[in-house]
A and B are shown apart, each in its own frame.
Chain A
């Protein structure tokens, strides 16, 4: 079974803090993604990575950065958390071929106070 593991299910952080969300996959997938999920807006892509140290901006990258130093790990960084970044964050991985679906972690619900 493919496993995508996000380090936290729930996080509460203060405004201005630097926040790290970690994601690890065990299937040697080339592609990894960070999505943000808000009611009525579906999943919006923040960043994705198609190889180690490679990244591309998604639709809503502002206020976020990412790091991929190893193939299995993809980190999302909130440089200075703000209340409008309170949301559900979902990590996913997918093999390069594009013939299969993406596999998702269980999500991290982040609250910024």
Chain B
């Protein structure tokens, strides 16, 4: 079984500062990894995903994440945040391949608040 731990429930940062949102996963098999963003009163939107290949993945809105297999981590980063990045961010994991149980397991979320 897979599980996901987001180490910070809230992260406050100043506008234009860099940010890192941490995510660790647990799995006995290889997995796909995702970061989703949820703006207030909306559903979830995909930021980026890691399936295979290069461990540095670039997503929308200037975000990127690095897959580290030895540390079982998939941390999300942005070099300079904007007020509009205020949202909740979810890390998620899924088993690869065909499966009747191709469900995605989510972490508990990290609320990113940007201060002017």
Contacts and interface: CB of A to CB of B under 8 A. Distances in A.
Interface of A: 4, 31, 33, 35, 40-45, 48, 50, 54, 56, 58, 90, 92, 94, 96-102, 104-107
Interface in B59-113: 90, 94-109
A56 B103 CA distance: 11
B96 A98 contact: yes
A40 B108 contact: yes
A98 B107 contact: no
Given A43-B90, A99-B51, A104-B45, A50 B34 contact: no
A98 B49 CA distance: 12
B14 interface: no
A98 B97 contact: yes
B46 interface: yes
Contact of B104 (A56, A102, A106, A107): A102
B90 A98 contact: no
A41 B107 CA distance: 8
Contact of A98 (B44, B45, B102): B102
Contact of A106 (B43, B51, B90): B43
A48 B103 contact: yes
B34 A101 contact: yes
Contacts of A54: 100
Contacts of B42: 106-107
B103 to A, nearest CB: 5
B100 A50 contact: yes
Contacts of B105: 45
B26 interface: no
B102 A42 contact: no
A77 to B, nearest CB: 20
Given A101-B49, A102-B104, A96 B98 contact: yes
A43 B105 CA distance: 8
A26 B115 CA distance: 39
Given A40-B9, A41-B108, A42-B109, A94 B102 contact: yes
